[in-house]
């Protein structure tokens, strides 16, 4: 890791950790007034996160495309960027950071335990299909993370509403009906971008490995994840699965994405995908 990259990396983790602690404080002590300050913390962390990526770009000459560390660094950036964007559009959605920020903290910690060393860009990555494939992977990952976070908020808020005196910390968050709709919309958006990612990856694989599909472990789990989210959409549209069932589905389905990107390498190390290389 480059000198400034290390500094900005740890500054990012510290700020994100403070923001996550702020949410815990807000829920436990029933204090909704700290939410604007938490949002400011998340935005400050995002700036430091961006600086980390820029520092690595300056050191390597390319954006973080390969290796677990680089992938979580950029993937986490897209998740936080999406969180800030939807919160900027609607202040009541700033609470989605309650789940996305802790997720990014864990991701960045996991990436740091891999190989964060500076490496040149592999020749196989120098293709336009890389940008299309990875870009849409990050977009879908971010959308699924937002759906998961909306699901977490729905479950917490619905539990609070059953209490004799609901927790006022949830008053600034969207209504249950709004959260239910957001879960579905984020899943649909993620599913569409996920489909584009898989198609672009297949075209790239044909040029790189000679076949569109090789049943690589990452490819297989990517397909499983895609099918799970497709089933989620089907259950919502056809069988009218809503509310808690949809929220739990959005939370559970996120595990398939995490397994695809990070978990496969814990079991096998034969994946052809560059971002699985240590």
Nearest by Cα to 236 from 174, 182, 172? 182
- The residue that leads in pLDDT, 2 or 84, is 84
Give the separation between CA 197 and CA 187, rounded to whole angstroms: 15
Structural domain harbouring 40: 3-117+124-276
* 37 C-beta neighbours (distance < 10 Å), count: 13
- pLDDT confidence tier of residue 179, bands split at 50, 70 and 90: very high
15-59 pLDDT, tens per residue?
999 999 998 898 888 888 888 899 999 999 999 999 999 999 998
Q: Residue 59: its pLDDT value, please? A: 87
- The residue that leads in pLDDT, 70 or 269, is 70
Q: How large a percentage of the chain has pLDDT more than 70?
A: 91
Give the separation between CA 159 and CA 166, rounded to whole angstroms: 9
Q: Residue 265: its pLDDT value, please? A: 63
What Cα–Cα distance (Å) separates residue 109 from each residue in 13, 15, 39, 45, 47? 9, 14, 22, 15, 18
Q: What domain count does the chain have?
A: 1
Q: Residue 267: its pLDDT value, please? A: 62
Q: What angle do CA 93, 96, 99 make, to 5 degrees?
A: 175
Give the separation between CA 204 and CA 207, rounded to whole angstroms: 5
- The residue that leads in pLDDT, 104 or 267, is 104
Nearest by Cα to 152 from 256, 230, 246, 268? 246
**Comparing 58-62, 189-193, 262-266, which segment has the lowest mean pLDDT?**
262-266
Give the separation between CA 54 and CA 77, rounded to whole angstroms: 12
Q: Is the per-residue pLDDT at 103 higher than 90?
A: yes
Average pLDDT taken over every residue of the chain: 87
Residues 193, 139: contact at Cβ < 8 Å? yes
Nearest by Cα to 173 from 155, 187, 199? 155
Give the separation between CA 18 and CA 38, rounded to whole angstroms: 8
183-238 pLDDT, tens per residue?
999 999 999 999 999 999 888 888 877 888 878 888 888 999 999 999 999 999 99
**Comparing 71-75, 99-103, 211-215, 270-274, which segment has the lowest mean pLDDT?**
270-274
């Amino acid at each position: 890791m480059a000198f400034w990259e290390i500094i900005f990396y740890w500054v990012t983790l510290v700020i994100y950790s403070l923001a996550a602690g702020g949410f815990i404080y807000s829920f436990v002590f029933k204090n909704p007034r700290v939410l604007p300050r938490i949002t400011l913390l998340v935005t400050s962390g995002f700036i430091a996160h961006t600086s980390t990526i820029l520092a690595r770009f300056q050191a390597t000459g390319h954006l973080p495309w390969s290796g677990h560390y680089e992938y979580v660094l950029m993937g986490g950036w897209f998740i936080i960027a999406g969180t800030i964007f939807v919160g900027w559009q609607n202040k009541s959605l700033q609470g989605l950071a309650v789940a996305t920020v802790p997720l990014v903290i864990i991701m960045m910690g996991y990436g740091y335990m891999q190989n964060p060393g500076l490496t040149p860009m592999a020749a196989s990555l120098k293709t336009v299909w890389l940008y299309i494939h990875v870009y849409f992977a990050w977009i879908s990952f971010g959308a699924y993370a937002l759906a998961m976070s909306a699901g977490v908020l729905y479950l917490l808020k619905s539990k609070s509403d059953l209490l004799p005196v609901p927790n006022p910390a949830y008053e600034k968050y969207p209504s249950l009906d709004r959260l239910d709709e957001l879960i579905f919309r984020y899943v649909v958006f993620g599913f569409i971008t996920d489909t584009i990612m898989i198609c672009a990856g297949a075209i790239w694989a044909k040029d790189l490995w000679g076949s569109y599909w090789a049943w690589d472990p990452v490819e297989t789990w990517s397909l499983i994840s895609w099918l799970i989210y497709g089933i989620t959409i089907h259950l919502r549209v056809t069988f009218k699965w809503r509310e808690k069932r949809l929220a739990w589905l959005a939370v559970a389905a996120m595990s398939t994405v995490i397994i695809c990107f990070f978990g496969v390498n814990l079991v096998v190390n034969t994946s052809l995908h560059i971002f699985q290389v240590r």
